[in-house]
Amino acid sequence: ELDEVLSATIDIALASPDADWATDCLIRLARHADTDVRGNVMIGFAHLAGRFGELSEEKVAPVLQAGLRDPKSHVREQAEAALDELGERLGWSLAEDETSI
């Protein structure tokens, strides 16, 4: 059910006790067919960084870069917001031409 996937995406970002597991789950969900799921994934990375104070730039940056090129504006906007937050929280500075998934 789509509603369950949407809810699970947020639950993973806001409640998972394991940052690595949550990151891997969100990365897998980043390719979901539904726009809202992909958007939730993008902002979910920012939530994880806020909760844990760190995030694997090597794993997550390519996913967010791909989000910036998503055909749906909602996903692009969420990826941009997440990158802005990761820049503030973790000091990330990513160029748009970096590797994508």
- Residue 23 near residue 59 (C-beta atoms within 8 A): yes
Q: How far apart are alpha carbons 25 and 95 in whole angstroms?
A: 24
What pTM value is reported for the model? 0.89
Residue 91 per-residue DSSP state? -
CA-based Rg of the chain, rounded to a whole angstrom? 12
Judged against a pLDDT cut of 90, whether residue 13 lies above it is answered with: yes
- Give residue-wise pLDDT tens across range 74-89: 999 999 999 999 999 9
